[in-house]
Amino acid sequence: MLLSIKDLRVQFRMGKNDGVQTYAQAVGRGDVGVSFDIPENGTVALVGESGSGKSVTAMSILNLLPTNAERLGAINFQGRDLLKTSLAELQALRGKEIACVFQDPMTSLNPVFTVGDQIVETLVRHLGMNRREALAKAESLFAEVGLPEPKRRLKAYPHELSGGQQQRVMIAMALACEPKLLIADEPTTALDVTIQRQIMELLAKLKDKHRMSMLFISHDLGVVGEIADHVVVMRSGTVREQGAVRDIFNNPQDSYTRALLACRPTLDNKAARLMVIDDHIAVQQGGATAAAVQGKAKDANAPVLVEATALTKSFWLKSGVFGRKEFKAVGREGRGVSFQLRRGHTLGVVGESGSGKTTMGLALLRLHEPNGGAAGGQVVFHGADGSHDLMKLSKADWLPMRRRIQIVFQNPYASLNPRFTVGQTLIEPMQIHNIGANDAEREQRARALLVKVGLDASAMHKYPHEFSGGQRQRVAIARCLTLDPEVLVLDEAVSALDVSVQAQVLNLLKDLQDELGLAYIFISHDLAVVRFMADEVLVMKDGEVVEQASAQEILAHPKQEYTRRLLGAIPRGYQEAAAA
């Protein structure tokens, strides 16, 4: 056995109360800890929702935890108890014997050094190579992980690479010293489905080639089913179930495991509402569950709110010392993006990273810098006060239009001001747009909106860091609703959330649409989520729409090979993978 974790418990010191030290237990409950083994050349997956303790468990192996963490139990790696090793011994292990790949490569890579310099540093420190040898090794590693033009990429900075390329750099750095164990902590969560598929296949191939073991952490059982040999299901710091991947998928014993498998949207899911974890567990235990909610029937003749015709967007790129050249991000072949969005309907926009889908959404809202590049075409908003071409509105005319078209971004951690309380975050837009007679009325409205999005009104006085990712996204949605918008642009609004929280937010969006008649432009790389949300789908590639039809038609009868490739890249879990 390569690594064995026995009765691991992790707690964090939280300060003193009346002179007595208090603790928060993150892994383990009471005296019962977490135990599992990682065999040589095997892949073990840790699965669970956010806050389940899976990442804390994995980071305990090399003690990559805050200084207020205390670890109890045993972690044996090739006969050594890592809980008893010195810091110097752990530093010698990190990167050489045990390496890590994290979820967000931009926070792991140093932005002021080239990616070549960063991998060279690892090789020089752990293997004693000189710089020339390390550069040659780095180039071969970049080639091995599939980076195009590996020699040129050595001189690139992290921001010059796409998300998938950054993750490949991280994998190359992790493999530089040929570790015996690779810890992959949500390495594909923020990537589109085709890049996710490539990274999964790359990890599996490299694992076999280098005969290393892997600890794979994920909240998505669809991904886990395709890569793992053994699965450990965690919730609230405890192991709920573990076993061979075949047994976990075909015959799960724990109610939580069954719920986790069931709450993810699928391509054949035609339900009007997703059941969340607690709903599934209540049904399995014979208890009552939320009554099935029928979605409001869509009016095919509902008025058109937004009509885009040949929308294009360009950016200026530097060329030489003083020159510049035009890069067409949307409308590269001159056609641009055209669609109609009706009141109460959802337009899904899908495509790989770099396809232009987010640029299209931001161009529609004119959120790019005016001097950054030209925008063309028409985007007509049909309101009660007449029709307005959004591309021709003056800056002064845009301010009232901001009330009517709002956006929810992918990352709620970055889109909420950390210095504002939730109350300030919600009240500020109302003050800017003169909504409400006074601050008392605005505060009352803000409290009501928090309740509407599923939060307690007491959240008014809390700061964003006091909430989970799903709760922050609810705050971001509530902020949009303060202005009574008619259209919401949702840019990957649920892609960073675990499956249970994702289901809650998707249900909330549907409820709000039915209640308020909102129209959505739903941008996502996850076709299963788009299938659940959208009425019509645009498939984008290289800045152009390559296919456009109803959601049902796109998924059942895709006409383009590109669309079929997107569908084929969706993780389908153990059973589907085995049957394929």
Helix, strand or coil for residue 40?
A: coil
Q: Per the domain annotation, does 13 fall within a domain?
A: no
Residues 370 and 446 reside in one and the same domain: yes
Q: What is the mean pLDDT of residues 305-311?
A: 94
> What is the number of structural domains in the chain?
2
548-554-555 Cα angle (round to 5)? 155
**Tokens in use for 53?**
């303790």
Cβ–Cβ < 8 Å for 233, 242 = yes
Fill in the amino acid letter for 100. C
Residues 428 and 324 reside in one and the same domain: yes
Q: Is the pLDDT score of 293 beyond 60? A: no
335-547-331 Cα angle (round to 5)? 25
Task: State the Cα–Cα distance between residues 6 and 514, nearest whole angstrom.
Answer: 50
Task: State the Cα–Cα distance between residues 573 and 576, nearest whole angstrom.
Answer: 6
Q: Compare 401 and 192 and report the one with higher pLDDT.
A: 401
pLDDT at 323: 83
Q: How many of the other CB atoms lie within 10 Å of CB of 323? A: 8
Residues 245 and 310 reside in one and the same domain: no
Q: Per the domain annotation, does 75 fall within a domain?
A: no
**Phi and psi for 80 in degrees, rounded to 5?**
-110, 135
Task: State the Cα–Cα distance between residues 555 and 542, nearest whole angstrom.
Answer: 20
pLDDT band at 341 (very low <50, low <70, confident <90, very high): very high
Helix, strand or coil for residue 491?
A: strand
Q: Per the domain annotation, does 292 fall within a domain?
A: no
Cβ–Cβ < 8 Å for 42, 229 = yes
Residues 325 and 216 reside in one and the same domain: no
Q: Per the domain annotation, does 49 fall within a domain?
A: yes
CATH code: domain of residue 556:
3.40.50.300
Residues 350 and 489 reside in one and the same domain: yes
Residues 209 and 350 reside in one and the same domain: no
pLDDT at 578: 43
pLDDT at 370: 65
Q: What is the mean pLDDT of residues 71-98?
A: 90
The residue behind tokens 């009330």 is 403
pLDDT at 270: 67
Residues 459 and 529 reside in one and the same domain: yes
386 CB-contact burial (10 Å; exposed 0-12 / middle 13-18 / buried 19+):
exposed
Task: State the Cα–Cα distance between residues 254 and 287, nearest whole angstrom.
Answer: 16
Last-in-domain residue among 249, 280, 295: 249
Residues 318 and 430 reside in one and the same domain: yes
Q: Is the pLDDT score of 580 beyond 70? A: no
Q: Compare 354 and 442 and report the one with higher pLDDT.
A: 442
Q: What is the mean pLDDT of residues 244-264?
A: 88
pLDDT at 492: 85
Residues 231 and 89 reside in one and the same domain: yes
Helix, strand or coil for residue 318?
A: strand
Q: What is the DSSP letter of 45?
A: E
Q: Is the pLDDT score of 71 beyond 60? A: yes
Q: Which of 64, 60, 55, 340 is nearest to 218 (CA)?
A: 55
Residues 322 and 225 reside in one and the same domain: no
The residue behind tokens 């803000």 is 446
pLDDT band at 340 (very low <50, low <70, confident <90, very high): very high
Q: Compare 410 and 471 and report the one with higher pLDDT.
A: 471
Q: Is the pLDDT score of 120 beyond 90? A: yes
Q: What is the 3-state secondary structure of 132-144?
A: HHHHHHHHHHHHH
Identify each DSSP E strand in 401-456 by its residue range: 405-408
Q: What is the mean pLDDT of residues 289-300?
A: 62
Q: Per the domain annotation, does 533 fall within a domain?
A: yes
Q: Per the domain annotation, does 220 fall within a domain?
A: yes
Q: Which of 19, 510, 62 is nearest to 502 (CA)?
A: 510
Task: State the Cα–Cα distance between residues 77 and 63, nearest whole angstrom.
Answer: 13
Q: Per the domain annotation, does 289 fall within a domain?
A: no
| 322 Cα distance to chain centroid | 38
pLDDT at 577: 42
pLDDT at 296: 66
Last-in-domain residue among 204, 229, 249: 249
Task: State the Cα–Cα distance between residues 471 and 480, nearest whole angstrom.
Answer: 15
- H or E element at residue 342: strand 337-342
The residue behind tokens 């890049």 is 195
pLDDT at 286: 67
pLDDT tens for residues 27-69?
999 889 999 999 999 999 999 887 788 989 999 999 999 899 9
Task: State the Cα–Cα distance between residues 487 and 159, nearest whole angstrom.
Answer: 32
Task: State the Cα–Cα distance between residues 407 and 476, nearest whole angstrom.
Answer: 9
Q: Which of 407, 479, 487 is nearest to 445 (CA)?
A: 479
Task: State the Cα–Cα distance between residues 405 and 558, nearest whole angstrom.
Answer: 31
pLDDT at 168: 86
Percent of the chain with pLDDT over 90: 39
Q: Per the domain annotation, does 517 fall within a domain?
A: yes
Percent of the chain with pLDDT over 70: 95
pLDDT at 291: 46
pLDDT band at 209 (very low <50, low <70, confident <90, very high): confident
Q: Is the pLDDT score of 294 beyond 70? A: no
pLDDT tens for residues 161-208?
877 788 888 888 888 888 899 999 888 776 777 778 888 888 888 888
Task: State the Cα–Cα distance between residues 406 and 403, nearest whole angstrom.
Answer: 7
pLDDT tens for residues 546-575?
999 998 898 889 999 999 888 887 777 765
167-171-176 Cα angle (round to 5)? 145
| 293 Cα distance to chain centroid | 27
Last-in-domain residue among 231, 249, 267: 249
Cβ–Cβ < 8 Å for 396, 426 = no
Residues 342 and 416 reside in one and the same domain: yes
Distant-in-sequence, close-in-space partners of 339: CB < 8 Å, separation ≥ 6:
306, 307, 308, 347, 536, 538, 545, 548
**What's the mean per-residue pLDDT of the chain?**
87
pLDDT band at 281 (very low <50, low <70, confident <90, very high): confident
The helix, strand and coil proportions of the chain, stated in percent and rounded to the nearest 5, come to 40, 25, 35
Strands 181-185 and 20-27 come out as unpaired
Query: Domain range holding 179?
Result: 42-65+81-249
pLDDT tens for residues 92-105?
888 889 998 887 77
Residues 172 and 245 reside in one and the same domain: yes
pLDDT at 186: 84
- DSSP secondary structure, 354-404, as one string: TSSHHHHHHHHTT-S-GGG--EEEEEEEEETTEEEETTT--HHHHHHHHHH
